[in-house]
Amino acid sequence: MTTPPIPELHLAAVTKRFIPTSPPVLDSIDLTLTRGEFVSLIGPSGCGKSTLLKLVAGLEPLTSGEILVHGVPPANARETTSFVFQDATLLPWRTVARNISLALELEGRPANVIAQTTARLLDLVGLTHVAQHYPRQLSGGQKMRVSLARALATRPRLLLMDEPFAALDEITRDRMNEELLRLRDEGNWTVLFVTHSVSEAVFLSSRIVLLAPHPGRIAHIVPIDLPYPRTAALRESPQYDALVNETSSLLRQTHHQLSEPQQ
């Protein structure tokens, strides 16, 4: 018995208005992600990137259209979806280990499962040595790693990331990008990733969705045909440069506000 595979994420004519009488924030978005895809959303402020993520997370209601996360509405897919926020949003009164175990605790997993999973994730993100530290003792990059580990603790199939590395310096950001791809090799999760950085989007994604503002809509979709696994060396390659340039110029075409060339 063969049925067509259910897409990991399916958006059909997704429209969102915050105020019924005003123009929509997002207008008729159609997008389908297959399992294991890494899709970045890029566009200027006001194009509804973050709103789109919140809709997929089921944190905001839709105005019209349909969102299905591997076949079910977002509210029913929470157990297999994780959200990574722009700031690390850690609980400052919890240690690194107990921040990572938060989601498992909330979902009422048994203590030994929580302990094992936490230890595995601490090791995975290389933070075992600071497991008992509090967030205020960590660097920006370390905090983001904790945030990532917390999101991965529930073994999500879909990861929604809202500019997770925007607050980091460029070198740390590059390193976190490499680490994110390395982690994904082991987890095979699907990612919807919001960013302002074209180079970050090219490095990470299998597809880049360019959004235009007022109302938020899809302007272009750029496939990034660079093979995985990708390493830091990719940034030196001419294909990478070409894709960054192509994406940047498309972005400039769609929004005249974005006058500064990338890098």
Partner 1 sequence: MKPKLLLALNAAIVLAILLLLWQASIWLFHVPPYMLPSPLAVAKAITTRLPDLATSFLISAEAAALGLLAAIAAGLLIALVFARSPFLRRMLLPYTILLQTVPIVAIAPLILMWAGQGLFAVALITFIICLAPLIANATQGLISVDPNLVQLFQMHNATQSQILRKLRLPHSLPYLFTGMRISSGIAVIGAITGELFAGSTRVGQGGLGYSILYAMAQLQTDYLFALVLAATLLGFLFFFTVMFFEWLFLHKWHTTATPTS
Give the binding site for partner 1 (CB under 8 A): 54, 57, 59, 78-79, 81-83, 85, 87, 89, 91-94, 102-103, 105-107, 134-136, 154
41 touches 54 (CB < 8 A): no
As measured in angstroms, the least distance from the Cβ of 56 to partner 1 is 11
Q: Which residue, 35 or 78, is less far from partner 1 as judged by CB?
A: 78
Angle between helices 170-187 and 140-152 (to 10 degrees): 20
Q: What H or E segment, with its residue span, contains residue 192?
A: strand 190-195
Helices (H), 108-261: 111-124, 140-152, 170-187, 198-204, 238-254
CB of 63 to partner 1, least distance (A): 19
Which residues, listed in sequence order, are joined to residue 214 by a DSSP beta bridge?
A: none
Residue 150 or 255: the one with the smaller Cβ distance to partner 1 is 150
Closer CB to partner 1, 57 or 183, in the complex: 57
The Cα-based distances of 192 to 6, 143, 242 in angstroms read: 17, 21, 23
Cα separation, 243 vs 223, in Å, equals 9
What is the closest distance, in whole angstroms, from the C-beta atom of residue 83 to partner 1 in the complex? 5
The least CB distance from residue 138 to partner 1, in Å, is 12
Measured from the CB atom, is 194 or 219 closer to partner 1?
A: 194
CA 207 to CA 214: how far, in whole Å? Answer: 23
Residue with tokens 């904790």: 146
The tokens 């990331």 sit on which residue?
161
- Nearer to partner 1 among residue 132 and residue 263 (C-beta): 132
Between 129 and 136, CB nearer to partner 1? 136
Instruction: Return d(Cα 16, Cα 26) in angstroms, integer.
Output: 5
What's the min distance (Å) between Cβ of 99 and partner 1? 11
Give min distance, CB of 106 to partner 1, in A.
4
